[in-house]
Amino acid sequence: MSTKFTGWGRTSASYATLCEPDSETQIVNEFAIEDDLIPRGLGRSYGDAAQVSGGVVMSNLALRSMGPIDDDGVVTLGAGISIDELLTISIPQGWFVPVTPGTRQVTIGGAVAADVHGKNHHVDGSFGAHVLSMRLVTPRGAWDISPTQDAELFWATTGAMGLTGMITSVTLRLLPIETDQVLVDTERFNTLDGVMASMREGDGAYQYSVAWVDCMTRGAHMGRSILTRATHARTQDVKEATLRAPQASKIVVPFDAPSGLLNPLTVRAFNELWFRSSPKFQQGESQSLTTFFHPLDGVRDWNRLYGKKGFVQYQFCVPDEEHETVVSCIDRLSSSGVASFLAVLKRFGPSNPGLLSFPMPGWTLALDLPVGPSSLPGVLDDLDELVLDAGGRIYLAKDARLAPEKARRMYPRVDDFLAIKERVDPQHQLTSDLARRLHLVGK
């Protein structure tokens, strides 16, 4: 039976057969009988990475084993366990994930495959840096791989968007925490230069840092921002030191909002309210882990607010010295009149050896853009050029539109990646709509 798949942005739908293997044997069987396959987790990548038109989508959600957390915080998890499920068990025992994206609704397999980053990349790196080993099933067999055991395949798989095989389990080192709170410092900036200078100078003193940027205001206040930075609260920092599991979201968006609800007018009004309601300067506010890390998880199916046409998340990173590119991109966007509802700026620390891993030392900006305005494709093409000129790249986990020649320039180690993929997937069975579009399947 054919099933419709999209990413979280709900653009670029395609149809494929769904299978949900619950053992290595079943995955091996799928590779023996099917041609075009791609693993899938909870479908939180925005574009077309976890789907393959006319092929087989292998859900990892039945891979559900979960071992005990040992005294050093080491745990082995089935690839289909979500960060939400992990935190439900681990927080009450005093452990947090070392890296979390902006939602808990991602699987461990998806987190490794995209080598996800959080608000702490500048100090802790991306997800792959905390993986001790993993089990990978490929068309040529199954392997335990780690940074020391077949490191080549390990780093080809970390960030490879599922294109080397199906990860079945991951051994991870968690982060010890004393409470379920973080201490947050908030500061408002009227200019982009102001917030960027503060992040460059001050982020090193915090484990977590993120700035919300207003991309709708023009002129002197273009890029005005709210910067929030935090560290985990210790027992003595809070009135009541609790270790509570995250709560499930109670609010659901029940239907698709009318297309055009998020337009320049409504987004401008929202941004104004958001900016003014935030404190100008506040230190040491205690917030729950959920409020700080996963505010969007409070509303289920929030992507429906963008209407049936969906939305694009455009996320790029550029080297540190290219901070002017961030300014130019926001200038291009704010002058285009295309509404960006959420714009998030973070700092990245050193890259890891992942051949297709996204982060590079410097800046990353993520923009949520509703599909609809006729100028949007042209604006995004312009942003691609600015990013390329700066030696930057865009994030494959968010992409649904990049051209292959641009992807090659942004990810210069594609040929090294394809050579390793050839070793484990000589018939080029592992493919996806993203891989076909960007020529990442094989030669």
Ligand X SMILES: Cc1cc2nc3c(=O)[nH]c(=O)nc-3n(C[C@H](O)[C@H](O)[C@H](O)COP(=O)(O)OP(=O)(O)OC[C@H]3O[C@@H](n4cnc5c(N)ncnc54)[C@H](O)[C@@H]3O)c2cc1C
Interface with ligand X (CB under 6 A):
8, 38-45, 49-50, 60, 79, 101-103, 106-107, 109-111, 113-114, 116-118, 161-162, 166-167, 296, 397
Q: Which is nearer to ligand X, 42 or 418 (CB)?
A: 42
d(CA 243, CA 247): 12
- Least distance to ligand X, CB of residue 185, Å: 20
- Least distance to ligand X, CB of residue 116, Å: 3
Name the residue number minimizing CB distance to ligand X: 41
Q: Which is nearer to ligand X, 38 or 211 (CB)?
A: 38
Q: Are strands 208-213 and 225-232 parallel, antiparallel or unpaired?
A: antiparallel
- Least distance to ligand X, CB of residue 5, Å: 9
User: Around 232, how many Cα atoms within 13 Å sit in the side-chain half-sphere?
Assistant: 18
d(CA 40, CA 19): 10
Q: Which is nearer to ligand X, 27 or 330 (CB)?
A: 27
- Least distance to ligand X, CB of residue 111, Å: 6
- Least distance to ligand X, CB of residue 47, Å: 9
Encoded amino acid at 162, one letter: G
d(CA 63, CA 85): 13
Q: Which is nearer to ligand X, 62 or 238 (CB)?
A: 62
- Least distance to ligand X, CB of residue 423, Å: 17
Residues contacting 207, CB < 8 A, separation 6+: 120, 123, 124, 230, 231, 232
Q: Which candidate, 40, 81, 75, 62, places its Cα nearest to that of 166?
A: 40
Q: Which is nearer to ligand X, 356 or 383 (CB)?
A: 356
Q: Which is nearer to ligand X, 55 or 223 (CB)?
A: 55
Give how far the C-alpha of residue 352 lies from the chain's centroid of Cα atoms, to the nearest Å: 16
Q: Which is nearer to ligand X, 100 or 328 (CB)?
A: 100
- Least distance to ligand X, CB of residue 173, Å: 19
d(CA 148, CA 353): 13
Q: Which is nearer to ligand X, 222 or 407 (CB)?
A: 407
SS3 content of the chain, % helix, strand, coil (to 5): 35, 25, 40
Residue 3: is it exposed, middle or buried by C-beta count within 10 angstroms (0-12/13-18/19+)?
exposed
Identify the DSSP state of 46: S
Identify the DSSP state of 339: -
- Least distance to ligand X, CB of residue 114, Å: 3
Identify the DSSP state of 263: -
Q: Which candidate, 369, 354, 363, 366, places its Cα nearest to that of 411?
A: 354
